[in-house]
Amino acid sequence: MITFLKVIKMKNKIIVVMYHEVLPINTEFLDNSLCTSIDNFIDHLEFYRNTFEIVDVNNIYKKTSKIKLLITFDDGYVGNFKYVFPLLKKYEIPILFFISTDFVSKTNGYWILLLKYVKQKKSSFIFLSKINIFLTPLLIKYNIVNILKLFFKYSYIEKINFYIKNSQIRDMFMDWNQIFEMNSSNLVTFGAHTKTHPILSKLKYEEQHEEIIGSINVLEKKLNTKISNFAYPFGKAIHFNSDSIKICQSRKLNIFTTEKGDNNLFDKYYIKRIGIHNEPVSILQEKLKAYYEM
């Protein structure tokens, strides 16, 4: 009887995986920490289809014979439209996309990625707020990107872009027409991811409310549909607080974090996700095995 209950519990857990961007392998800006190559992503999809019951976010509570898997993407990068959207239609796989609404139709790039681009180039001079930093190999060695994350609440996009003249970066995010086309598919669901991707725990209640509810209102107006899902930017426990939770709960949202776990004990206000990067499928299998073989 104990074994039976354990099996039922395992069969009906849900694993949520998180991606950001998918790009061709020869792309200059393929950052393994946030991007996945097209070839690896296809291998991932094949593995998911053979191992899990892939569900859309509206079916996360349904009971299935296999462990459920929900695929999510954060931020709204243009590769989601160019490369992911054709693949989800080909494989008939539902995906949930979280959008930071101020990034849509903008030529501005998300600051963490821009800094990583600078890091790849080894030496560039950029201005951030009142701080000037010369990114030398020595600073890069000590991972200046992670250090800067702790200092800035907002993405100082325009100031960074002024110093980085790269067409791939300027074409980083989806525009509204691309989002509209994706939204016409019953395989696509959109969720909110704030307006400007700040660290919410660094903001006052009113600022958080504008970031969270403001992004939801934009999406609902543009897409003419109710938005029921929200993902915290950065998503660890230090990146949101009781105000963040209170605001999301006021709209009865499904709230997605980046805390790792299998959601065996499902809490819609604290959904755990496993970040997936550019690993080959053999490593992906090992990465997820700890969750689906528990």
Cα distances (Å, whole numbers) of residue 146 to 112, 164, 263, 288? 9, 20, 28, 26
- Cα(134)–Cα(125) distance, rounded to whole angstroms? 5
- Cα(159)–Cα(77) distance, rounded to whole angstroms? 20
Q: What's the pLDDT at 238?
A: 95
φ/ψ (deg, to 5) at 70: -115, 130
- Cα(156)–Cα(197) distance, rounded to whole angstroms? 11
Mean pLDDT, consecutive 10-residue segments, the chain of 294 residues? Answer: 34 87 75 85 98 94 90 96 98 98 70 55 45 44 48 45 48 92 98 94 96 98 98 96 98 96 88 96 94 72
Q: What's the pLDDT at 78?
A: 92
Strands 229-231 and 254-256: parallel
Q: What's the pLDDT at 290?
A: 84
Tokens representing 16 are 């949520």
Query: String of b and e for 104-131 (b: at least 16 CB within 10 Å)?
Result: bebebbbbbbbbbbbbeeeebebeeeee
Q: What's the pLDDT at 8?
A: 32
Global model pTM greater than 0.85: no
Q: Which CATH number is correct for 2-106+173-292, 3.20.20.370, 3.40.50.2300, 3.90.470.20, 1.20.1090.10?
A: 3.20.20.370
- Domains of the chain, by residue range, sit at 2-106+173-292, 107-172
Residue (of 164, 188, 203) closest to 89 by Cα position: 188
